Amino acid sequence: MDREAIGTESIHATLDALLNLPPLRKSPQLSAFLSYVVRESLAGRGSLLKSYTIATDALGRSTSFDPATDAIVRVEARRLRQVLQQIYADPACALDVRIDLPLGRYEPSFRQIAPASGPSSPAGSREPALSGMQESEQRYRALVEASAAVEWRSGPDGGLIQTFGLNSRTGLSDAELSGFGWLDALHPGDRGAVEALWRACCQSGTPLDATYRVRHVGGQYRWMLGRAVPLESAEGTIREWVGTMADIDEQIRAAEALRTSEERLRLAVAAAGMMTWDVDVATREVTCSEFGANLMGVTTGSLDELFLAMVVPDDLPAVLASLEPALRGEGTYDAQYRIVHEDGIRWISARGSLMTSSDGRPRLIGVACDISGRYVDSHPAEERRLSA
């Protein structure tokens, strides 16, 4: 039966009743998940429900959420399916509308049902549900393997009970990893902080979110992103924890290489006495590195009203002849010119080219340096004439 036949009011009433049951009332994450997907579906946006929207709109993840490395939506969806299954399998369940989260999608389904008649319900009626649970488990395992993530389960105290994929990565047996033995696979520099954080999460019931290095087969350490959420009993106590570990070593090392490269470039530019600058083509606003204060006297301002105003009038036409085409993407900017500085006339050499920034805005980016000494040495007569 579709939702139009059931009626929006009946679905809302069922949702409110579900949210007041102990398994959902004591789990803000699951309540937020279920409320969001049901309300979005009733608003006609069910087909648009994706991991990203659920994570950012309902589960509190930032806009930088990446479902490839953060399994929170998949884990919470699995928890929600289990909780709904338990609620509707209870012989005492009096709800007459069934809300389910079908496998493979996040748009909920709605079905009119007769309230359970009690303990006398035939035992055979639960067999299809059991089969469905087994099928769900198989599909979930396949999803974990396809995402190259490690899945694990632990008891309420945080001791590891079961893992899928960690053995092959670390070369350690289940016995070696069980309990808190998995900590031995962590890098010594990360072990203490991760253990303290994990024990604090187990004590407070707060989901785990941590990065740390894990020793893999062969002895090399790789960065992993570990996340875990608690599964609650009907009474609201933590029954167990389920979590995932995703390999983010390449992302971490790429970010570190970028930081190192940027720092080397900064040091090289500073050692050479150069200033980096960029011009926002749309606003014609200029931003310079700190060295700009020494070279130009300023680090930010209008291209036309401030920086070009410093150029000696005789040199301005040549500067504009190279600058304006470069701002339109018609070649590179390359100019040598004089500026009026508080210390006198300075010769500047500047080069730059157009690029598109991460926000899609075109920017002219380049470097500039003071070549006064070199110019005077190579053109002494001309310099004396210009300075006269």
| pLDDT one-digit tens code per residue, 35-81 | 999 999 998 888 889 999 999 999 989 988 888 888 889 888 888 99
- Residue with the bigger pLDDT between 248 and 142: it is 248
Fold of the domain spanning 148-262: Beta-Lactamase (3.30.450)
State residue 120's pLDDT score. Answer: 43
pLDDT band of residue 137 (cuts 50, 70, 90) is low
What single-letter DSSP state applies at residue 235?
T
Q: How many helices (H) and strands (E) does the chain have?
A: 15, 13
Sheet of 238-247: strands edge to edge?
160-164, 149-154, 238-247, 221-232, 208-215
> Dihedral angle at the C-alpha atoms of 287, 291, 297, 299, nearest 10 degrees?
20
CB atoms within 10 A of CB 22: 13
According to the model, what pLDDT value does residue 374 have?
A: 64
* CA 221/CA 186 separation, integer angstroms: 8
The alpha carbons of the chain give a radius of gyration, in whole angstroms, of 32
Read off the pLDDT of each residue in 299-321 and give the average, rounded to a whole number: 93
Spatial neighbors of 312 by CB under 8 A, at least 6 apart, are 337, 338, 339, 340, 345
Record the tokens describing residue 308, joined without a space. 């070009």
CB-CB contact of 368 with 274 (8 Å): yes
Question: Per CATH, which fold does 272-387 belong to?
Answer: Beta-Lactamase (3.30.450)
Residue 83 corresponds to which tokens in the numbers above?
A: 């909780």
The one-letter code for the residue type at 99 is: I
Per-residue confidence (pLDDT) for residue 182, from 0 to 100: 94
> Which pLDDT belongs to residue 149?
67
pLDDT > 50? residue 146: no
Question: What is d(CA 387, CA 175) in angstroms, rounded to the nearest whole number?
Answer: 84
Residue 178 has pLDDT above 90, yes or no: yes
Q: Return residue ranges of the chain for CATH 3.30.450.20.
A: 148-262, 272-387
Q: Under DSSP, is residue 43 helix (H, G, I), strand (E, B) or coil?
A: coil
More reliable by pLDDT, 199 or 5:
199
Tens of pLDDT, residues 250-285: 888 888 888 887 788 777 777 767 888 999 999 999
Q: Map residue 314 onto helix, strand or coil.
A: helix
| Digit-coded pLDDT (tens) for 211-228 | 999 999 889 999 999 999
Residue 180 has pLDDT above 80, yes or no: yes
CB atoms closer than 10 angstroms to residue 271: 8
Residue 266, token pair as written in the block: 């900064």
Beta pairing class for 285-288 and 149-154: unpaired
| 125-139, 263-277, 317-331, 365-379, range with the lowest pLDDT | 125-139
Is residue 313 scored above 70 in pLDDT? yes
Pairwise CA distance, residues 63 & 61, whole Å: 7
Q: Mapping DSSP to helix (H, G, I), strand (E, B) and coil, where does residue 216 land?
A: coil
